[in-house]
Each structure stands twice: as C-alpha cells, then as structure tokens.
C-alpha cells in the first residue's frame, strides 16, 4: 500500500514537473487539461492517513475550503453552511464531496483535522500537508493565506473565505460566497451533481 | 447542579419572553444570550458570542476574561474585506458606547477561549468571567451549541 502510494506520488510529481513544460512547449496546441483554479495536480495528507489529491477526488464534484481549526468563526460557519446546503439538496447532497484543507500544518495534524470535521454531522474530507504542499495548492486554487504574529507570541492566519467548486472532471466550476443566500448557493451546486 | 437548573430555567424564561430582563447585568452593562461553539477533542481554541448593551452615560470596554476551561480569554475582531478573513486580538479591548448594543457574533467580534483544557461539548455550559473597564467583572454561563444544523449567526 505504502509502495503504491509512493509510486502514485512519484507519478504525480513527475506529472506536475512536466505539465508547465508541456504547456510552454506546445504553445497554441489544444490542451485537454483545463486551466484556472485547481487545474494543476496536488497531493495532501488526508485526516484518515491516506493521501488526498486531484487523483483521489476525481470522479465526483467537490467543494473545497481552506482554513484552520483554531479559526473560531468563519471556518466553522462555512463548514456548517456547506453541511446545511448538502442537507437541503436531499439525495443529491451525497453526490458532491466537501473538502477542508488546513493551512496551519504547524498546528493542525491530520488526526486533529479529522476530529474537527467530524463535528459537522456530514462526511467532510479533511486534509493538510507540508508547507510546500500548502503553498502549492493555495497557489493552484488562487487562495490567499498568511501567517500573522499576534501579541503574546501566538499567531493567527489570514485566509480567503471562499468556497471553490470543482466538477467531476476536476475542472473549476465556480465559487460560493458567504454573503449570498441559500438559493443562490443551491443554484450553483445543483448543476454540478446533475 | 441546582444552580445550573435554576439558570437554565431563567434562560428558558428569558428566551420565551423577549421583553423580560436581561440575562446578566453588572453596573450599566447588560449581557444577553452568551453562546459558544462546540469544539473537537484536541482543538486548542473556541469562539464565544454574546450581546452587550451599555445603558450608562459613558462608554465602557470589554477588556478581558477568564474561564476554568481555557488558559486565556481574548477579545478578537474579524474583518472580512475582499473575501479574506482577518482575525485580530484586540489588546485594548472592545468599546461599548453609551446607549449602544454591540453583538459579538460570527463574522464580527468574538471572545476566544485560547488553550482549551477540554473540548466544549454541545448542550453544556461553560462559566466565563468577563471583565469590563468600568462595570467590573461578571460571571456568565456560555451555552455550548452544536455545529450541526447550520449557521448559528441568526440567534
């Protein structure tokens, strides 16, 4: 198993290193791979100990959100909202995945993230990674995050509060905003699972 | 235990009759509906929310707090400009102008329980002492609410 994962990681790493070259070398040649947020391969460590990557997520649409477990406000609000939207979709709610990526790997270990996402009463894929992996995936998805020191020696993390939607092929399919109403969010989620 | 039950009864009465007296008062400061979010085992911080009304003629400040369940109680602001969440510790506290009500709520201000010694379990209450610059200290029970069932911001 570990060997297969390592091999997959290697394949991903090779693919990741070749893609930019392929893009620049081919110039105007048509590409199968879409550009835009989330279009590059990525690999993270899942809360259950297994990798979470563009490869493991493929085949099912997903909504991805970046935050950290010590965020007492926007992160739980957003994840609770996603859980609520899924419930509102009835049977279709199970047809998309919810992914929570902690941008605080220094503090949030995969098991911590697993216990955190379990609070929301619906399956949520929790993940994080090394700083290099987090830097890569946030850049890939166009997500901002920045560690900010606080008085007293602690730190907080500023981060984008946006939910990014990806279709079942792993192509960018839009975003959900915390300021839009439930109807607007559902109108974006429904075509994804259709 | 009995005290908790009496308190529970008082809270139930307060929520059943919106025009009833405030949940807690100290000096010119009145506090209503203190609640906190449940946290996962191992989670190091949790957020608390409460409505604060200042009926006095001068402004007051929520400067700090303490609770047996966490190492520290900090006052935080959250700013959401440009789709980016920025949380900051308010070391000078939060000003409550005379005659005003400031609601600590998701997406705005909160008290953060930093260095949790135990998970905050839904359905329980946690004792918290909040300190105001002028009104002084007041002991408040924060009701811990489940994360299941959507956004609590509408409370």
Over residues A102-114, mean pLDDT: 96
Inter-chain CB proximity B85 and A177 less than 8 Å? no
Chain A environment of B41 (Cβ under 8 Å): 115
Cα distance between residue A38 and residue B67, in whole Å: 42
Over residues A117-127, mean pLDDT: 97
Nearest alpha carbon to residue A143 among A151, A156, A134 = A134
Nearest CB to A112; choose among B42, B84, B87: B42
Measure Cα distances from B84 to A29, A74, A95, A116, B140 in Å: 36, 10, 28, 22, 32
Residue A181 pLDDT greater than 80, yes or no: yes
Q: How many beta-carbon pairs under 8 angstroms link A with B?
A: 105
Q: What are phi and psi of A85, to 5 degrees?
A: -65, -40
Over residues A77-103, mean pLDDT: 97
Q: What is the CATH number of the domain that holds B40?
A: 2.60.40.1890
Inter-chain CB proximity A160 and B83 less than 8 Å? yes
Chain B environment of A115 (Cβ under 8 Å): 40-43
Which domain covers residue B110, as residue numbers?
22-145
The confidence band for A22, taking pLDDT boundaries of 50, 70 and 90, is: very low
In this prediction, residue B2 carries a pLDDT of 52
Q: Is residue B155 part of a domain?
A: no
Chain A environment of B151 (Cβ under 8 Å): 77, 80-81, 84
Q: Provide the residue-wise pLDDT of chain B in tens; the chain has 155 residues.
A: 455 555 554 444 444 444 457 899 999 999 999 999 999 998 999 999 999 999 999 999 999 999 999 999 999 999 998 899 999 999 999 999 999 999 999 999 999 999 999 999 999 999 999 999 999 999 999 999 999 864 444 44
**Cβ under 8 Å to A: B residues 116-145:** none
**How, if at all, do strands A172-176 and A62-67 pair?**
unpaired
Which of B87, B91, B92, B105 is the best substitution to test chain A (most A C-beta atoms within 10 A)? B87
Nearest alpha carbon to residue A67 among B86, B152, B64, B41 = B86
Cα distance between residue B113 and residue A70, in whole Å: 10
Q: Is residue B58 part of a domain?
A: yes
Strands (E), B27-146: 29-37, 45-54, 60-66, 70-79, 84-89, 94-96, 101-103, 109-116, 125-132, 136-145
Phi-psi region of A86 (alpha: psi -120 to 50; beta: other; left: phi over 0): alpha
Nearest alpha carbon to residue A163 among A105, A101, A112, A108 = A101
Over residues A85-110, mean pLDDT: 97
Which of A37, A72, A178 is the best substitution to test chain B (most B C-beta atoms within 10 A)? A72
Chain B environment of A152 (Cβ under 8 Å): 89
Nearest CB to B151; choose among A77, A111, A119: A77
Q: Which residues of A64-102 are buried (b: 16+ CB within 10 A; e: fewer)?
A: bbbbbbbbbbbbbbbbbbbbbbbeebeeebebbbbbbbb
State the CB neighbour count (10 A cutoff) for residue A115.
17
Q: Is residue B7 part of a domain?
A: no
Q: Is residue B46 part of a domain?
A: yes
Please give the domain boundaries of chain A with CATH numbers for all domains.
36-193 (3.40.30.10)
**Cβ under 8 Å to B: A residues 87-126:** 107, 111-112, 115-116, 118-121
Cα distance between residue B99 and residue B101, in whole Å: 7
DSSP-H helix ranges across chain A: 2-26, 54-57, 74-88, 110-117, 131-141, 182-193
Bridge-partner residues for B130, per DSSP? Answer: B65, B138
Measure Cα distances from A108 to A56, A155, B5, B44, B86 in Å: 22, 13, 37, 10, 19
Global pTM reads 0.82
pLDDT digits (tens, 9 = 90+) for A39-61: 999 999 999 999 999 999 999 99
Chain A environment of B128 (Cβ under 8 Å): none
Q: Is residue B62 part of a domain?
A: yes
**How, if at all, do strands A125-128 and A97-102 pair?**
parallel
Nearest CB to A73; choose among B89, B91, B107: B107
In this prediction, residue A151 carries a pLDDT of 82
In this prediction, residue A11 carries a pLDDT of 39
Q: Is residue B16 part of a domain?
A: no
In this prediction, residue A150 carries a pLDDT of 87
- The answer, for B85 touching chain A at a CB cutoff of 8 Å, is yes
Grouping H, G, I as helix, E, B as strand and the rest as coil, residue A167 is: coil
In this prediction, residue B54 carries a pLDDT of 98
DSSP-H helix ranges across B2-62: 2-16
Phi-psi region of B106 (alpha: psi -120 to 50; beta: other; left: phi over 0): beta
Number of separate domains in chain B: 1
Q: Is residue B86 part of a domain?
A: yes
Nearest 5°: the CA angle A176, B150, B8 is: 155
Inter-chain CB proximity B89 and A80 less than 8 Å? no
Q: Is residue B98 part of a domain?
A: yes
């Amino acid at each position: 198993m570990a060997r297969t994962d390592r091999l997959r990681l290697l394949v991903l790493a090779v693919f990741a290193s070749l893609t930019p070259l392929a893009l620049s070398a081919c110039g105007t040649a048509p590409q199968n791979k879409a550009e835009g947020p989330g279009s590059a391969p990525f690999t993270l460590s899942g809360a259950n100990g297994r990798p979470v990557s563009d490869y493991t997520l493929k085949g099912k649409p997903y909504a991805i959100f970046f935050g950290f477990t010590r965020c007492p406000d926007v992160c739980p609000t957003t994840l609770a909202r996603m859980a609520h939207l899924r419930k509102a979709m009835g049977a279709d709610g199970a047809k998309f995945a919810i992914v929570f990526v902690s941008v605080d790997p220094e503090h949030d270990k995969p098991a911590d993230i697993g216990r955190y996402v379990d609070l929301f009463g619906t399956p949520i894929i929790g993940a994080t990674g090394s700083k290099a992996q987090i830097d890569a995936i946030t850049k890939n998805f166009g997500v901002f995050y920045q560690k900010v020191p606080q008085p007293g020696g602690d730190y907080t993390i500023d981060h984008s509060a946006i939910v990014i939607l990806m279709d079942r092929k792993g192509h960018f399919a839009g975003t959900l905003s915390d300021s839009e109403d439930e109807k607007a969010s559902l109108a974006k989620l429904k075509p994804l699972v259709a | 235990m009995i005290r908790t039950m009496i308190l529970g009864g008082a809270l139930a009465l307060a929520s059943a009759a919106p025009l009833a007296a405030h949940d807690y008062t100290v000096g010119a400061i009145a506090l209503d509906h203190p609640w906190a979010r449940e946290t996962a085992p191992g989670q190091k911080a949790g957020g608390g929310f409460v409505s604060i009304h200042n009926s006095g003629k001068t402004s007051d400040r929520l400067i700090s707090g303490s609770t047996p369940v966490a190492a520290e109680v900090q006052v935080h602001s959250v700013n959401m400009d440009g789709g980016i969440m920025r949380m900051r510790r308010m070391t000078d506290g939060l000003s409550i102008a005379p005659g005003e009500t400031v609601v600590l709520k998701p997406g705005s201000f909160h008290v953060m329980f930093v260095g949790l010694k135990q998970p905050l379990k839904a359905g329980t209450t946690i004792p918290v002492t909040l300190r105001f610059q002028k009104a002084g200290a007041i002991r408040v029970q924060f009701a811990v609410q489940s994360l299941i069932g959507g956004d609590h911001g509408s409370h």
